[in-house]
Structure 1
Amino acid sequence: MDEHLHAHAPDGATGKQAGRCEADPDGRAHAHAHGHDHARGAACATADGAAGEHAAPEPGDGYRHFRVSGMDCASCANTIRTAVGGMAGVSDVRVSIGRERMFVAFADGRTSPEAVRERVQGLGYGVELLKDDAPASRPARLAWWRTRKGLHAIIGGLATAGAFAAGRLSPELGHYLFVAAAILLALPIARRALAAAAAGAPFTIEMLMTVAVIGAVIIGEPAEATVVVFLFATGEVLEGYAAGRARAGIEALASLVPNRALVEENGTLREIPASAIRPRQIVVARPGDHVAADGTVVEGRAHLDQSAITGESVPVSRGPGETVFAGSVAIDAALKIRAERTAADNTIARIVALVEEAQDAKAPAERFIDAFSRVYTPLVAALAVLVATIPPLVFDGAWETWIYRGLALLLIGCPCALVISVPAAIASALSSAARAGILVKGGIVLETLAKADLVAFDKTGTLTRGRPAVTAIHAVEGSEDRLLALAAAVETGSSHPLAEAVLAEARRRDLAPVLATGVKAIAGRGVTGRAEGRKIFIGAPRFAAEEGTIGPELAARIDDFEQAGNTVAVVVADGAGIGAIALRDEPREDARQGIAALKALGVETMMLSGDNPVTAAAIGRTLAIDDARGGLLPAEKVEALRGLSQERRTVMVGDGINDAAALAAASVGMAMGSGTGLARETAGVALMGNRVLDVARAIALGRATMANIRQNVTIAIGLKAVFLVTTVLGATGLWIAVFADTGATVLVTLNAMRLLLPSAGAAGGRA
C-alpha cells in the first residue's frame, strides 16, 4: 500500500508481468479513492486450448462440460482434443487434465454431445456429460484394482505368469498360450489405437504398442509381446496413481468445506446444504465444525484453525467484526457468521479454481516440449522403419533380427515421459504452494520466479503490519485534542490504515465528533474538506507545504518525528500548518527473517515507499534492506520498476490494494494478504498468510521446480537415447524398450511428486 495518505494507482497502468490478469473492464489496473474499489474480473489463470491458452469456460458460456476420467498426461489430452476437434460441427475443444474436464463448443447441430461422449469413450476414457447448472463435484475415487486399467494389469500379470508356468511343462503349450495372451491383452489397446487413428491421431502410444505386439508375435516372440503388454498396463496403473496423488492435495482442500450448514433464521436453527447459503444469512459454526461460508463474525469469539487457507499452523482468534474463511475449523467456541459469499465463490472455491486453472496454463518450457514431442514420435517411427528394412535390403541382414530391433525402437518413440516432464513438476509445485498459502498463477510465474534477482517491497501493510498507531501529536494552534478532532473529521469514512489510526485515537480519547463537508481525496497527496468553517488539509509534509505555510516550530517537530522512524501527517487549516500527527507502523514479526532468507538465495532487496525518505531509511536499516527509497508517488514506483525490469527479473510485493500498477510493472507481482478478491488482482502470486518469509519460499519453490524439470527432461531423453543406441546395436530388446518408455514416465512422475513434500521450497539455490 502506498504510504501517501490516499494514493491510488494511475489509470491505464501497464507492464509486462508473468501471470498478470487484465480483467478490469474499464482499463484501470485498480482504483482507490479513500476506499477500495476492487476490480471484479475473472480469475487470472488459463486453460490450454486447441490453439493456445484460454480462460476456462464457465457454465452458460456456450460450451458443454464433460467429466473425463483416465487422463494421466498431456498425450491423453492431445489425443482427445484431436479426436473431438475433428468432428463436424465442433468449433472448439479445451481439455483440463487437472480438473478432468473437457469443454466443447458446438457450431451447429451436426454433432451432438452424445456423439462426443461416444467418441471419447471409444478412446478408452470414462466420460460424463455435466449439466450447466450442476454444482461442481468430485467423483469418488476407485481403488486401482477396481479400475479398467487396474484389471487389465492384473489379468495381464496372471496370464503372463500362467504362460510362463505352462512353458516350463510344455514349451509348445507355453508358446501358444503366450500368443493367445498377447493377442487378448492387446485387444483393448488396439481398439483405442484404431479409434484414435480414425479420429485423426495415428501416432499414439497405443498404436505404437499395437504394432510392436503384432510384429513380435509374427516374428515368433510371443513371450516378449505378452510381457510388453503387461509392463505397459502396469505402467498405466502407476501413471494413473501418480496423477491421482497430484490431484489429491487440491481435492482435499475442496473437501474442507462441509456439505451441510447450520443457519439461524428467526431465532431458530435449521440445517441446509452448504451450496444453498446466500449472502447475509447467519451461519452457525459450533466447536469442531468447519466454517461453511466466508463471512464476518457477528457473535462469539473463537480460535480458528486456518492452516488449510493461509498455511499458518497457529490458531488465530476471531471475534465480532472480523473476517473468517470457509473451511476454517472453530476450535474452542461457537461463532455466528454473516455470510458474505455463496459456496461457489468462497475463498476455498477460488483457491481450488485458481490452482486447477494455473495447472492447465502452459509454461514456455512446456510449450517447447510439446512442440518437440510432435516431431519426435514420427521421427523415431520413421527411424524404426529404416532400421527394420535397410539392413536386410542393403546389407543382407536377417529380417527377424532387424524387424525385432525396429519394433523395439517403436516403443522408444512414445513421448509420454517427455511430455509429462514439465506439467507434472508444475502441477506438483502449484499444489504444494497452495497448501502453504501461496497461490501461484501458472507455470510461467514459477519460471520467472526461478530467475528473480531483485525483490522490491512496499512498506505499509507489506513489510509492516498495516496497523499504525498514533504515537505523538504536536499542536501549534489550540490543543492536541482539537487538532485530532479536525483531522478525524476529514478522515471519517476512509479505510486507509493511517486514517483508521487517526480515527482510532480520536475514539480512544472519546472526542466529540466534528462534522466535515466536501471531503475529497487528492490522489497520492492527501485529503481535504471543510470543518468548523475552515478548509482543512491532511497529508504528508511535502504536500502540506504546498497547501500552506509550515512554520519553523512545526517544521522542527516534523523532523524530530521522522528521525524517530514515524510517519507524519500534517494538518493545514486555511493555508497555515496547525499541527502534526506522528504514527508508527511496526514491522511484521517475520520481516527481518524474510529479508535474510532472500539474501541467502542471492536476491537483492529494495523498498519503494511513499513515506518520507527519512522514515523509509530508518525502516530499511532496521530490516537490513539493501536499498530503501522513500517519497515515491505511485507513478514513480511504476517508473522505477519498469526501469529495473528492463535488465533484471524483478518481483514487486504489495498489499494488492493500492499497488496494482507497481505489481503489473514488475516481472512478477506478489499480493500480500488474504483479503477479498486477491485471486482476481493484478499479481501473479497471492500470499494468503501475510508472511514476508513466503516471498523467499515462493522463489525457492520456483527454483526447485525448474531444477526438477531439468532432471525430468534429462531422465526422459537420457533413458530413451541410451536405449535407442543399445536397441539398434541389439544389446536390448522389447522389454527394455517398454521400460525406457513406461519406466521413464513413472520415474519422471515420482520425481515431480517430490515437490509435494513440505521441504520442496525450503531451500533455494541459484537458478
Structure 2
Amino acid sequence: MSQTAKHPANLTFRVEGMDCASCAATIKTALSGMTGVGDVEVSVARERMTLTASDDLAGQRTIENTLKTLGYTATRLPDAANDPGPRGPDHAERPRRRIAEPGQHTQMFRIDGMDCASCASTITSALAPLPGVANPDVSIAREILTMDLDQDRTPIDEIERIVGQLGFTATHVSDETPGARTPGAQDNPWWRKPRGLHLLASLALCAAGLALTRIAPAFEAHVFTAIALFAIFPIARRALAAARLGAVFTIQMLMTIAAIGAILIGEQLEALAVVVLFMIGELLEGLAAEKARSGIKALGRLLPRDARVDDDGTIRQIPADSLRIGQVVVARPGDRIAADGEIVDGISSVDESPVTGESVPVTKSAGDAVFAGTVNHDATLRIRVSRAPEDNTIARIIALVENAQDARAPTERFIERFSRIYMPVVLLIALAVVIVPPLTGLGTWETWIYRGLALLLIGCPCALVISVPAAIASSLSAGARHGILIKGGAVVENIARTGRVVFDKTGTLTEGRPVVTDIVAVDGDDAALLALATAIERESSHPLANAITAAAETRGIAAPAGDSVHIVPGKGMAGRVAGRAVFIGAPRFAADHAPLADDLSGRIGALEREGKTVAVVVADGAVAGLIALRDEPRQDARAGLADLKAAGVSALMMTGDNARTASAIAGDLGIEAVAEMLPEEKAGRVRELARAETVIMVGDGVNDAPALAEATVGVAIGSGTDVAMEAADAALMRNVIGDVARMIGLSRATMRNVRQNVVIALGLKAVFLVTTVTGLSGLWMAVLADTGATVLVTLNAMRLLGFLGRRGD
C-alpha cells in the first residue's frame, strides 16, 4: 500500500463474514503490518472496522482486496458513518425540506441492514449529492428510505446499487409516500451464502464419492483425495493469505496442515471428515454472530414507528425518529411513549417495566420524567421531548449492549491458542527428523522421510481438533434436551468458572405479575369486599385490577354489575355497585374520599413494609377494607438458590423495583438485594463484579439486556422477552431457577471432560513420537495413534450426553 498522506484519515469499513474473535485477530494482524495503516480496531458484533490510513482510492482498494483474500468482504463507509449527523444532540433542527423540482417524484425504498442512526446518516449523505435527488430521508424504525427522485437523471437501479455499496440492501417499493412500515426482506439463508454453498457442495461430493468407490474401489484414494482438496481449498487459501500478511498459525492453517498431512499418508477419509466438521463449526459460529446482531435490532423495535405531535393545538403524525428536542408528543392510553421527555399535562400510570423492571405501573403527572418505550395506561399525556431519538433511553441501552459485546468478544479457541506452541514445535521436529539423520549418516533418506511422514501424522492435530468440539457438542446437546440452551463452547468454559450469580427480580425470581396476598374487610366479610372491588376493577386493564379479578375467579366469587365505572386518572377507579358509590385506589388518594382509622393506617404500613401494594376500597364515604398485592417469588426459587449455595456459588438480586419490595422478596429468599437501579446502573454494577470474578447474570426483561451483555455470562429465563434472549449467552427454557445450578454443574463436567480429552490426545502422541523416532513403530502405528486417539476422545465426550439424566434432573 502507498504511503499515507501527511494527515492520515480515519476510515470506517463494513466487514462481512466475521463470526468470532479469531476473525478479528486475523484481520488486525494482517492490516497492522501494512505500510501506512495504523490503529486498526475490529468489532465483530457491529461488523465494523476502523483504522487510520491515507484517504485515497488506491489505498482503500488495497485494504478491501486484502480482506477479500482472507475470506471477508469489506466496504468503505462514508465519513458520515462516524458522525451523529444532523439529528445529533447538537443539531436539533432537521434540514428544511426542499420543494420537489419538475420531473421529481417521491420514491420509497425498503432498506435492510441498518442498526443505528449513523446508518441513516451514511445513506442520506451518499445520496444527497446525486443528480435529480432531493430530500433523502431514512426511517430506521420503519426501514424505509424516501426521496424526491428524477429517474431520468438517476435511475432507481442506480440508487439500489449505491446503497448496496454502502453495505445495505435497497429494494424499490413504490412511488407513493409511505403510510405504514413495509415488511423487510429477510437476509439470505445460510445455504445461499458462500460458506454454506461450499459445505453443501462438499457433502454432495462425499455422497457421490461413496457411491463411485463402491462401483470402482480401485479409485477410492484418488476420488477422496480430490474431494478433500476441493473441500480444503478455500480454507487453505485463507490460511496462506493470512500467513503472507503475518498471521501464520491461524485455525485455518491448523486445519490445512491437518488435512494435507492426513492425505499424504493415505488417510483421505479422515482428512475429509475433519474439514467438513470444521466447516460446520464455522457455519454455526456465523449463524450465532448474526443472531447476536439481530438482538440489537430487536431493541430498536420497542420504539413506536410514529409519534403524534401537538403543534399549537394541531395534532399531526410524524415518524418517531424525526422528533426534535422541545416538541410536544401526545401519548394516548395504551400508546407506547415515543421519546424521553417531561410531562407537561396529564396524570396517568405508566408501565416502566421495559426500562426499569418496576413490577407495578407508576403514577406520573406534570413535571415527571418518562422514558421512550414505556407504555401509558390510563389517560392522555402531553410530553415535551428532552432527548433526540438517537440519544433516548432505548438508544442508550442499544449502545450499552454493543459496547459490552465488543469488550468481551468470545474466548479465543483453545486449540488455536495451543497451536501457537504446538504446531511450530511439531513441524520443526518432523523437518528435523527428515533432514538431520541422513545428513549425519544415521540412515538413508528413504527411511527418515518415511519416519518423518509418520511423525507428521502423529503431529496431525485431528484428534486434538475433535477432542474439544466433541465434548462441547455433547454438553450442548445434553443441556438442550433438558431445556438449557448455551450459545457455544466459550460460554461453557466461562460458566464452569462461575463464582457469583446475579438475578433480576421481576419475572426471574418472581412470577412477574402481582397477585392478591391479603384481604382485610372492615366488617369481616372478605368475600363481599373482594366482590365489591371486582365489580369495579374488571372494567380496567391495569395489572393490579387484573390480579383482583383473577383472585375473585380463583375463589369462585361472583361479582355484581358495576355502573358508571370510570378511571380517575393517576389515582384509581370509581363507579357505582348496587347503588353504592365506590372508589378504589392507593391509600393517599383514598384519604380524599374517606378518613382512615388508626388501626387501618397501621395495617397499611405493615403490609407496605412487606413490599406489598395496598388498594383501599371506599363505599359510600366509608372505608370498606384493604386489598394487598405483591409479585410473589417463584415456587422453585428457594430450592434453586439452595442448589447454588451447595455448589459454592453466591447469589445477589438486582432490580429496578423499590427498595421496600426488593428487601421483602430478598428476605423471603435469603439473599442480598440491590434495588432502584436503572439499566445503566445495573450494567455498571455487574461490570464491576465481573472484573473480580466470573459472574452470571440471569434476567428476563429488556432492561436486563445491558447487564446480560456486561456479565461474564448472560442467561435469559425462558419466559423472558426476545431482546433478553438475544442479548444472553444462554437461556433456561423451562423457567426453572434450579436450572442455573444444573447448567453450572454441566459446564464444570464438560471442562473436566475437555481436560481428559486433551491429555488422551497429547499423551498418545507423545508416546508414539518417541517410538516413531526410535524406529519402534511404523506408519501403521502412527495411524493408530491418531485415529485411536480420535475414537477414545469421542467416546469420552459422549459420556456427557447422559450427565443430567444421571443426576436425576
Q: Answer yes or no: is 1:597 the counterpart of 2:640.
A: yes
Q: Residue 234 of structure 1 aligns with which residue? A: 276
Q: Answer yes or no: is 1:405 the counterpart of 2:426.
A: no
CA-CA distance at 1:239 after TM superposition:
1.5
Change in Cα spacing, 1:79 to 1:405, as seen in structure 2 (3 Å) is farther
Instruction: Look up the SS of the partner of 1:194 in the other structure.
Output: helix
- For 2:187 and 2:789, the matched residues in 1 are separated by 29
Instruction: Look up the SS of the partner of 2:677 in the other structure.
Output: coil
Change in Cα spacing, 1:607 to 1:387, as seen in structure 2 (3 Å) is closer
CA-CA distance at 1:420 after TM superposition:
8.4
**Alpha-carbon displacement from aligned partner over 1:477-508 (angstroms, at most 9, x marks no partner):** xxxxxxxxxxxxxxxxxxxxxxxxxx976555
CA-CA distance at 1:260 after TM superposition:
8.1
Q: Residue 87 of structure 1 aligns with which residue? A: 34
Q: Residue 71 of structure 2 aligns with which residue? A: 124
Q: Residue 450 of structure 1 aligns with which residue? A: 498
Change in Cα spacing, 1:231 to 1:450, as seen in structure 2 (3 Å) is same
- For 1:742 and 1:311, the matched residues in 2 are separated by 50
TM-score by length of 1: 0.51
Change in Cα spacing, 1:203 to 1:263, as seen in structure 2 (3 Å) is same
Change in Cα spacing, 1:247 to 1:122, as seen in structure 2 (3 Å) is closer
Give the letter aligned to residue 402 of structure 1. Answer: R
CA-CA distance at 1:377 after TM superposition:
2.9
Gaps of 5+ in 1: 1-60, 429-434, 467-502, 512-557, 568-583, 610-614, 627-650, 755-759
CA-CA distance at 1:84 after TM superposition:
1.3
Change in Cα spacing, 1:170 to 1:248, as seen in structure 2 (3 Å) is closer
- Mapping of 1:661-700 within 5 angstroms? 679=706
Contact 1:149–1:236 (CA under 8 A) maintained in structure 2: no
**Alpha-carbon displacement from aligned partner over 1:530-549 (angstroms, at most 9, x marks no partner):** xxxxxxxxxxxxxxxxxxxx
TM-score by length of 2: 0.49
Change in Cα spacing, 1:657 to 1:509, as seen in structure 2 (3 Å) is same
Change in Cα spacing, 1:252 to 1:75, as seen in structure 2 (3 Å) is closer
Counterpart pick for 1:264 among 308, 332, 356: 308
Q: Residue 104 of structure 1 aligns with which residue? A: 51
Instruction: Look up the SS of the partner of 1:601 in the other structure.
Output: helix
Moved more, 141-150 or 196-205: 141-150
- For 1:352 and 1:128, the matched residues in 2 are separated by 23
Q: Residue 563 of structure 2 aligns with which residue? A: none
Q: Residue 192 of structure 1 aligns with which residue? A: 238
Q: Residue 668 of structure 2 aligns with which residue? A: 623
Instruction: Look up the SS of the partner of 1:602 in the other structure.
Output: helix
Q: Residue 376 of structure 1 aligns with which residue? A: 422
Change in Cα spacing, 1:92 to 1:601, as seen in structure 2 (3 Å) is same
Change in Cα spacing, 1:447 to 1:237, as seen in structure 2 (3 Å) is closer
Counterpart pick for 1:243 among 241, 260, 285: 285
Contact 1:121–1:127 (CA under 8 A) maintained in structure 2: yes
- For 2:18 and 2:799, the matched residues in 1 are separated by 19
Contact 2:228–2:271 (CA under 8 A) maintained in structure 1: yes
- For 1:212 and 1:723, the matched residues in 2 are separated by 14
Instruction: Look up the SS of the partner of 1:234 in the other structure.
Output: helix
- Mapping of 1:458-477 within 5 angstroms? none
Q: Residue 143 of structure 1 aligns with which residue? A: 189
CA-CA distance at 1:601 after TM superposition:
1.9
CA-CA distance at 1:119 after TM superposition:
1.0
Q: Residue 676 of structure 2 aligns with which residue? A: 655
**Alpha-carbon displacement from aligned partner over 1:388-440 (angstroms, at most 9, x marks no partner):** 66788857684564344344345407987799899999999xxxxxx99x9xx
Instruction: Look up the SS of the partner of 2:500 in the other structure.
Output: coil
Q: Answer yes or no: is 1:253 the counterpart of 2:295.
A: yes
Instruction: Look up the SS of the partner of 1:203 in the other structure.
Output: coil
**Alpha-carbon displacement from aligned partner over 1:719-758 (angstroms, at most 9, x marks no partner):** 565577679665577899699899999x99x999x9xxxx
Instruction: Look up the SS of the partner of 2:71 in the other structure.
Output: coil
Give the letter aligned to residue 238 of structure 1. Answer: I
- For 1:184 and 1:364, the matched residues in 2 are separated by 30
**Alpha-carbon displacement from aligned partner over 1:325-381 (angstroms, at most 9, x marks no partner):** 6499x9x99998967765655666555554554444459986998754432332333
Change in Cα spacing, 1:674 to 1:70, as seen in structure 2 (3 Å) is closer
CA-CA distance at 1:122 after TM superposition:
0.9
Contact 1:64–1:132 (CA under 8 A) maintained in structure 2: yes
Change in Cα spacing, 1:368 to 1:262, as seen in structure 2 (3 Å) is same
Calculate the aligned-residue CA RMSD, in Å: 7.4
**Alpha-carbon displacement from aligned partner over 1:298-330 (angstroms, at most 9, x marks no partner):** 9999999989x8999xx99799769676499x9
Change in Cα spacing, 1:174 to 1:594, as seen in structure 2 (3 Å) is closer
Change in Cα spacing, 1:249 to 1:208, as seen in structure 2 (3 Å) is closer
Q: Residue 579 of structure 1 aligns with which residue? A: none
Change in Cα spacing, 1:245 to 1:424, as seen in structure 2 (3 Å) is farther
Give the letter aligned to residue 625 of structure 1. Answer: G
- For 1:197 and 1:740, the matched residues in 2 are separated by 29
CA-CA distance at 1:83 after TM superposition:
0.7
CA-CA distance at 1:128 after TM superposition:
2.6
Give the letter aligned to residue 589 of structure 1. Answer: E
- Mapping of 1:277-676 within 5 angstroms? 277=323, 282=329, 326=373, 344-345=390-391, 353-355=399-401, 357-362=403-408, 372-385=418-431, 398=447, 401-409=450-458, 411-412=460-461, 450-452=498-500, 508-510=590-592, 588-590=631-633, 594-602=637-645, 623=668, 625=670, 653-656=674-677
Contact 1:607–1:625 (CA under 8 A) maintained in structure 2: no
Instruction: Look up the SS of the partner of 2:248 in the other structure.
Output: coil
- For 2:760 and 2:398, the matched residues in 1 are separated by 35
**Alpha-carbon displacement from aligned partner over 1:581-609 (angstroms, at most 9, x marks no partner):** xxx99875218864553233217989999
Contact 1:262–1:283 (CA under 8 A) maintained in structure 2: no
CA-CA distance at 1:199 after TM superposition:
0.3
Bigger relative contact order, structure 1 or 2 (CA pairs below 8 A, ≥6 apart): 1
Instruction: Look up the SS of the partner of 1:191 in the other structure.
Output: helix
Change in Cα spacing, 1:764 to 1:726, as seen in structure 2 (3 Å) is same
Q: Residue 555 of structure 2 aligns with which residue? A: none
Change in Cα spacing, 1:698 to 1:261, as seen in structure 2 (3 Å) is same
Aligned length: 565
Give the letter aligned to residue 295 of structure 2. Answer: L
- For 1:735 and 1:311, the matched residues in 2 are separated by 59
Q: Residue 152 of structure 1 aligns with which residue? A: 198
Change in Cα spacing, 1:451 to 1:179, as seen in structure 2 (3 Å) is closer
**Alpha-carbon displacement from aligned partner over 1:596-645 (angstroms, at most 9, x marks no partner):** 53233217989999xxxxx99x969962638xxxxxxxxxxxxxxxxxxx
- For 2:38 and 2:472, the matched residues in 1 are separated by 26
**Alpha-carbon displacement from aligned partner over 1:664-689 (angstroms, at most 9, x marks no partner):** 68967989997989949999589998
Percent pairwise identity: 26
Instruction: Look up the SS of the partner of 1:94 in the other structure.
Output: strand
Give the letter aligned to residue 202 of structure 1. Answer: V
Give the letter aligned to residue 408 of structure 1. Answer: L
